[in-house]
Amino acid sequence: MNMKLSFSIMGLTVLLFVNLLFAADKEALQKELEVHKARSESTWRAFAGGEIKNRIVPAPDVILDYIKKDNQVQGYKEIPKRPEIEPGFFSDIVNAVTELPPLARGHIEKHVVAIFLVEELGGTGYTELLRDFANNRQGFIVLDVGSLNRKANEWITWKANSPFAKKNGYIIEAEIEQKKDDTRKASIQYILVHEVGHLLGVAYGAHPNWLKGGHPQKWAFTKLSWLTSGQGLDGQSKFDTAFTNRVKLKFYSFKNAPLTTNEIDETYTQLLNTNFVSLYAATNMYDDFAETYGMYVHVVLQNRQWKIRIIKEGKTVREIVNPILDKRCENKKIYLDKMFK
């Protein structure tokens, strides 16, 4: 046998063996996560009925173990750890919750068993459902303290630019707070409300339970925009024929993003012919609801502004303000109107 061919076959055999081992490990981890104590209602009985400020705590070992294993399944390299929380930061998180409008705060008190704080999460926020969610309708939220140390407008601008690699084109300036209210607390509040939206989407039947899946056309909110659901977060929207850049959206990609800054205005032109409230809402049916919920609380309940400015060579070429109030998003606002009543 040709020696090169022999080594090639040997290499393929080893690679196949490694892939099979990885698949087996992943399957074992997934089964472990299904029965993990972090998702048991009894694990968090001590938090039941307590004040929300007493349910905001550094992540205990059971949560760190759950996130570590989930990161392995998802392919994230980060290993979460318990953070040291300085008093001012803790106060910002507590005030971010307690200063919400009563209805939104009530959603947190009813559906969030606890808000756990970590470092090295692998993202800004994470939401998971407890087992038997159909009966208890509760879950937990994990926040990465390292990702929350930005003021609101700095954070939203950073996020808005993240799906576009630089090619000397447009830039985006985003604004969700006036200068006097542009604080870290405001940033934390906006991010937290988005995460709460994930729980509410399942609790109120806006979209399927992401652990079980389901066809988007069978759910009241997702049928407004989504035709199919695929593997993981994939899916086809009603607008994909014209909104060709949607499938290229990869937030937090920055220099590795499929889209470039030259395509910013084109992408927003396509967005404005859909009923998605933001580009992030267009990425999948779960974030579609969470983004809409978050913007509704921010704009409608709190009477605050949500603004995107697209700038080229120092001049604003497009401005988008409070899109949830646009005619194109009317059906989604109506859905939230009914939910909050």
Tens digit of each residue's pLDDT (9 = 90 or more) over 67-117 = 999 999 888 888 999 999 999 999 999 999 999 999 999 999 999 999 999
Q: What is the pTM of this model?
A: 0.89
Helix, coil or strand: residue 71:
helix
Distance CA 287, CA 252 (A): 15
Residue environment code for 212-230, b if the CB has 16+ CB neighbours within 10 A, otherwise e: eeeebeebebbebbbeebe
pLDDT at 4 over 70: no
**In angstroms, rounded to a whole number, what is the distance separating the alpha carbons of residues 313 and 65?**
48
CA–CA dist 318, 330 (Å, integer): 21
Tokens of 311: 């700038």
| Residue 86 in tokens | 């300085």
250: pLDDT strictly greater than 60: yes
Helices (H), 35-166: 61-74, 87-98, 102-111, 133-136, 152-161
Q: Is residue 10 predicted with pLDDT exceeding 80?
A: no
pLDDT tens for 299-308 read 999 999 999 9
Give, in degrees to the nearest 5, the angle at Cα 174 between 265 and 273. 40
d(CA 176, CA 160): 12
> What is the arithmetic mean of pLDDT over 268-288?
97
pLDDT digits (tens, 9 = 90+) for 191-232: 999 999 999 999 999 999 988 889 999 999 999 999 988 766
Residue ranges of the alpha helices (H) in 99-233?
102-111, 133-136, 152-161, 184-203
Band of residue 281 on the pLDDT scale cut at 50, 70, 90: very high
How many CA atoms lie within 13 Å of 22's alpha carbon, on the beta-carbon side? 10
Read off the pLDDT band of 167 (50, 70, 90): confident
Question: Could you tell me the two tokens for 121?
Answer: 């999460």
- Predicted local distance difference test score (pLDDT) of residue 97: 95
Q: How much is the pLDDT for 278? A: 98
